[in-house]
Amino acid sequence: MKKLLIGALVGGIILFFWQFLSWSILNLHIGNQTYTPNQDEVLKFLGDNLEEGAYYLPTLPEGSSQEENQKFMEEQLGKPWAQVYYHKSMKMNMASNMSRGLFVDFVAMLLLIWVIMKMGNASFSTIFLTSIIMGFVGYLSTTYTFSIWFETKTLPDLIDALVSFGLVGLWLGWWLRRK
């Protein structure tokens, strides 16, 4: 139990620290936060026309027939489209967000260590590769799948998955093999 809890706590902190580096100091995700000098006008327009929520534009209202949908999609080919996540007011609760992030990283590490411990006496390389594979599976099944449909750039997310879980794999490979 001690190996599990300490391994998950340190592993969660490693994940958390990499996420901090990736999003702040290294700024790998700058492409997901591009500036526009028209932001005030765009936000005013959105505020005047949208309720809080997530939007895919253009789309048809719920209940449209399959035929209407097919015709609409054909008409939209080659035209602009957007995804909008609109919020009426910015809330900046850094302590809550960071606490939740660290907690989720800790839980992810508990799950990873549980899988590794089910392998019996796994070698350092098996633990390291299992960790990287888990990060890669998470990337492929969520971020990359999303990018297929919505044409988002995911190289920073791939780097995050491989580096963070590689670092965790190094830690766990050493920690879990200790007597």
Model confidence band, residue 115 (pLDDT cutoffs 50, 70, 90) = very high
pLDDT at 179 over 90: no
CB 166 within 8 A of CB 130: no
Looking at the structure of the chain, the number of domains it has is 1
Task: Express each pLDDT in 33-53 by its tens digit.
Answer: 889 999 999 999 999 999 999
User: With helix as H, strand as E and coil as C, how does the chain read?
Assistant: CHHHHHHHHHHHHHHHHHHHHHHHHCCCCHHHCCCCCCHHHHHHHHHHHCCCEEEEECCCCCCCCHHHHHHHHHHHCCCCCEEEEECCCCCCCHHHHHHHHHHHHHHHHHHHHHHHHCCCCCCHHHHHHHHHHHHHHHHHHHHHHHHHHHCCCCHHHHHHHHHHHHHHHHHHHHHCCCC
Q: Would you say residue 60 lies in a domain?
A: no
Task: Express each pLDDT in 134-164 by its tens digit.
Answer: 999 999 999 999 999 888 899 999 999 999 9
Q: Would you say residue 137 lies in a domain?
A: yes
Please give the residue range of the domain that contains residue 140.
2-33+91-175
Q: Would you say residue 166 lies in a domain?
A: yes
Q: Would you say residue 9 lies in a domain?
A: yes
pLDDT at 33 (0 to 100): 87
Averaged pLDDT, 18-32: 93
